[in-house]
Structures are given as C-alpha cells and as structure tokens.
C-alpha cells in the first residue's frame, strides 16, 4: 500500500514536472495529494491525512481555474523533463532504500520525489500557474515531512501545509507591469 502511494507520488510529481496545461498540473497535484494522504493514513495520522487531502484537493481544484488550458503533457521539449523525472526517481530510490536504513522507505521516497520534482519544476518554468502549482506541491511535500513520523509537529504541520497549498492555488496570476 505505502509503496503504491509512494509510486503515485512520483507519478504525480513527474506529471507536474512535465505538464504545461492547467489540467495536467491539477492532475499532478491531485496525485501527489492522494499519495501523501494515503501515506498519512497508512502511518495512522488520519487527521493529518484529511488535512492534507482537503488542502491538496482544494489546491488541485483551484488550479483548474487558471493557467494554460488543456493537459499539456507532451509538449515539444518535454523529453528532458521526462528524463529528469526518471533520474530523480532513481536517485530518490537510492537514497530512500539503499543509503538510509530502517522502515519507511516508501515514505522517504515519497518525500524526496515530491520535493525534488517540484523544485525541478520551479527551476524550469515561466508560467505563473506552473510555478504556483510547483510551490503548492512543495508545501504538501514539506507538510508531509513534518506531519509523518518521526517528526513531531503532526496535525498542525499538515493543516499549515494544506492551508498554504490551497492558498497558493487561490492566488491570482500576476503578469509583470514593466520596470
């Protein structure tokens, strides 16, 4: 179950990295939300799972409001991003399973891929909607790190993460006004 959730998290993050359209971005965000909520459920943090789910779902839904239309999943020039997503996945797998010890490898993998993929997306985007989606994903990822074992912040961190993620998606798009 947790392994599947972790895989879904990677898929979600990869979609965010690859997608350029609002639907694709919302899908990625949704997948990441589901994965993190699932992992929280699996860890017994039900309230945290709900908070993340609520915040993430709201963020995904709000994402559908703005941004470039469509899915934008296979835009020209997306191949390097696909490769990057795979590389990040492999590296995260190495760190989560080989280098680190103890239980909870899927959890660690999920943390790493969500944060790394959203960071990668932040570095390679010009669209406000894409950047905001990546930022919301990042919030969920950090919230997951805080709310799941062995961290102690628990529910509070999850609520803050959910609120931040939803709030980010709710913000209007901004265009530069010139110097």
Partner 1 sequence: MEPELAVALPAAGAAFAVALRPRPRLALILGAVLGAGGVAAVLLATPGAASNLLGITLSLSAAGRSMLIVAAISLAFVVILAPVNAERSALLRWGLAGLAGMAGIAAAPTLEVSVLVLLALVVLQATVEGGRPHARRLRAPAFAVALIGLGLVFARMAGPPVLERLAAVGLVAGLTAALGALPYMHEFDADERTATSPIPWIAFVGPVLAIVVITRTHELVPSAAGAVGAMLIGLGLLNIVWGCVAAWRTELPGAAWRYSFIADWGLAMCGFGLGVAEGEAGALLILYAILLTRLPLYLWSRQPMRERAQTDRPVNLLVAAALAGSAPFAGFPARILLLRAATSVFWPFALVLAAALLLWIPSSLRLGRTMGMPKGRQMAGIAVALAFSLALGLYPQPLLLLAGR
Binding site for partner 1 (CB under 8 A): 95-96, 99-102, 108, 111-112, 115-116, 118-119, 122-123, 125-128, 130-132, 134-135, 138-139, 141-143, 145-146, 150-153, 155-157, 159-161, 164, 167-168, 171-179
Q: Nearest approach, Cβ of 32 to partner 1 (angstroms)?
A: 14
Helix (H, G, I), strand (E, B) or coil at 68: coil
- Across 66-100, b (16+ Cβ under 10 Å) vs e yields ebbeebbbebeebeebeebbeebbeebbebbeeee
> Smallest Cα–Cα separation from 108: which of 67, 72, 149, 152?
149
Q: Which is nearer to partner 1, 69 or 101 (CB)?
A: 101
> Smallest Cα–Cα separation from 65: which of 172, 177, 152, 178?
172
Q: Which is nearer to partner 1, 79 or 97 (CB)?
A: 97
Q: Which is nearer to partner 1, 77 or 126 (CB)?
A: 126
**What does the alpha-carbon distance between residue 148 and residue 155 come to, in Å, rounded to a whole number?**
9
Q: Which is nearer to partner 1, 82 or 156 (CB)?
A: 156
Q: Nearest approach, Cβ of 42 to partner 1 (angstroms)?
A: 17
Q: Nearest approach, Cβ of 125 to partner 1 (angstroms)?
A: 5
Helix (H, G, I), strand (E, B) or coil at 110: helix
Ramachandran class of 178: left when φ > 0, alpha when ψ lies in -120 to 50, beta otherwise? left
Q: Nearest approach, Cβ of 115 to partner 1 (angstroms)?
A: 4
Residues in the chain: 179
Q: Which is nearer to partner 1, 93 or 153 (CB)?
A: 153
Q: Nearest approach, Cβ of 155 to partner 1 (angstroms)?
A: 7
């Amino acid at each position: 179950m947790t392994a599947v959730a972790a895989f879904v998290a990677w898929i979600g993050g990869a979609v965010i990295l690859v997608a350029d359209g609002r639907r694709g971005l919302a899908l990625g965000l949704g997948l990441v939300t589901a994965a993190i909520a699932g992992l929280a459920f699996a860890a017994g943090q039900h309230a945290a799972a709900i908070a993340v789910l609520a915040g993430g779902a709201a963020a995904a839904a709000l994402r559908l409001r703005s941004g470039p239309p469509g899915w934008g999943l296979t835009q020209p020039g997306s191949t390097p991003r696909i490769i990057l997503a795979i590389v990040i996945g492999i590296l995260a797998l190495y760190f989560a399973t080989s280098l680190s010890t103890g239980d909870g490898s899927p959890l660690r993998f999920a943390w790493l891929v969500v944060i790394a993929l959203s960071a990668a997306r932040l570095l390679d985007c010009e669209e406000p909607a894409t950047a905001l989606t990546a930022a919301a994903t990042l919030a969920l990822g950090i919230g997951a790190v805080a709310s799941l074992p062995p961290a102690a912040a628990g529910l509070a961190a999850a609520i803050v993460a959910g609120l931040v993620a939803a709030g980010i998606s709710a913000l209007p798009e901004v265009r530069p006004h010139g110097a």
